[in-house]
Amino acid sequence: MDKRLSWQSCKTIGRGVSAAVLLFAAQTAMAATAVEEAQSLMQQGQFDSALKKLDGQLKSQPQDAQARFMRGLVLVKLNRGPEAIKVFADLTRDYPQLPEPYNNLAVLYAQQGDYEKARDALEAALATHPSYATAHENLGDIYAALAGAAYNRALSLDNANQGVRSKLALIGQLDGQTVASVPTSTVSAPPPAAAAAASVPPPSTVPPPAAASSTASAPEVDAGVAASVTGVVNAWAAAWSAQDLNAYFATYSPSFRPEGGISRSTWEAQRRDRIGRPKSIKVKALNPLFSRLGPDRMSVSFTQEYTSDDFSDKVSKTIELQQAGASWLIVREYSQ
């Protein structure tokens, strides 16, 4: 079971309870009351009052995660985007196991039109919780927005390209909205068990391409290179399945950088916990599709099937590898 913050107040019973425990329980109850009052003020549209209430709470308990998350939502309502971004970014550093701050951070980046940062934040959310449906949907919207931007750039370079014009016309038929603002109806206060997720409004773009349905290689990818990369991916999946952490981390390059801006050490600690915790794991990399990114860099996209004793999931995964001597090492990975 994933470790997640609990917003429930602490209750102590029995004799011999220490003064410190009683003080902690009282502080926790007060924190819950302050957040509930701020949420009530938000619902009444009194955002300035809600912010004052939360600032007062955080002055006495600066690490109150729920109050910090709520403060970020209030700042969104007040159209103070840069401050809200800092709140959610700080939460991702202090509580990297929570996916919701990453998701809301992506919403705000998308509002600014910074789809690359939004994509990275959502991929970080999915790295912590691969079954987070909202982040998957939002990531699809972000990839669609990036595709739309690419089509527009292509059209600016080749105005006579009717194929691009047709795709942009299709985009307009699919949805007339853009990622321009954080909708107030989807940015809500966190429930008792975890922070609530904000949704990225659907952009005016085509959906991202589906996962490959069969093994294939781009024409420029040599069969021997594809076989070598496949061997690394299979070794990566096998090490994960065997819960062999040394072999698993050996498939990653020293230059590998985790998504979402987290440090390599934090990412490794998270992976050790998630790989080592289940009693059994089975990982499969199905239907790989290869593409060359450069003279010594390859990309392979595939369907990742994950099964453990208490969880199963299927996602579209992309791994980028860089040549290291006669072999290849992972330099980037993300889910779609």
- 170 pLDDT band, cuts 50/70/90, is low
Task: Give the pLDDT of residue 60.
Answer: 85
> What is the identity of the amino acid at 34?
A
Between 266 and 190, residue with greater pLDDT: 266
Task: Give the pLDDT of residue 196.
Answer: 38
How do residues 70-84 score in pLDDT, each as one tens digit?
899 999 889 898 999
- 255 pLDDT band, cuts 50/70/90, is very high
Whether 187 and 201 have beta carbons less than 8 Å apart is answered as: no
- 92 pLDDT band, cuts 50/70/90, is confident
Q: Does the structure show a pLDDT above 90 at 332?
A: yes
Task: Give the pLDDT of residue 10.
Answer: 27
> What is the overall mean pLDDT for the chain?
74
For residues 147-156, give the mean pLDDT.
71
- Measured in degrees and rounded to the nearest 5, phi and psi for residue 314 equal -140, 120
Q: Domain 19-174 is of which CATH architecture?
A: Alpha Horseshoe (1.25)
Task: Give the pLDDT of residue 118.
Answer: 86
pTM: 0.46
Task: Give the pLDDT of residue 178.
Answer: 37
Query: How is the chain split into domains, by residue range?
Result: 19-174, 216-335
For residues 52-61, give the mean pLDDT.
88
The fraction of the chain above a pLDDT of 70, given in percent, is 74
Distance between terminal CA atoms of the chain?
24
How do residues 200-252 score in pLDDT, each as one tens digit?
333 333 233 333 333 344 445 777 788 888 888 988 998 899 999 998 999 99
Task: Give the pLDDT of residue 22.
Answer: 37
How do residues 95-128 score in pLDDT, each as one tens digit?
888 888 888 988 888 877 777 888 888 888 888 7
How do residues 276-327 score in pLDDT, each as one tens digit?
999 999 999 998 899 999 889 999 999 999 999 888 888 899 999 999 887 8
Highest mean pLDDT pick, 17-26, 132-141, 172-181, 196-205: 132-141
Q: Does the structure show a pLDDT above 60 at 29?
A: no
Q: Does the structure show a pLDDT above 60 at 28?
A: no
Q: Does the structure show a pLDDT above 60 at 336?
A: yes
Q: Does the structure show a pLDDT above 60 at 194?
A: no
- 137 pLDDT band, cuts 50/70/90, is confident
For residues 13-30, give the mean pLDDT.
40
HEC sequence for the chain: CCCCCCCCCCCCCCCCCCHHHHHHHHHHHHHHHHHHHHHHHHHCCCHHHHHHHHHHHHHHCCCCHHHHHHHHHHHHHCCCHHHHHHHHHHHHHHCCCCCHHHHHHHHHHHHCCCHHHHHHHHHHHHHHCCCCHHHHHHHHHHHHHHHHHHHHHHHHHCCCCHHHHHHHHHHHHHCCCCCCCCCCCCCCCCCCCCCCCCCCCCCCCCCCCCCCCCCEECCCCCHHHHHHHHHHHHHHHHHHHHCCHHHHHHCECCCCCCHHHCCHHHHHHHHHHHHHCCCCEEEEEEEEEEEEEECCEEEEEEEEEEEECCCEEEEEEEEEEEEECCEEEEEEEEEC
- Residue appearing with tokens 């690394």: 232
Classify 216-335 by CATH class. alpha beta
For residues 82-92, give the mean pLDDT.
90
Between 273 and 22, residue with greater pLDDT: 273
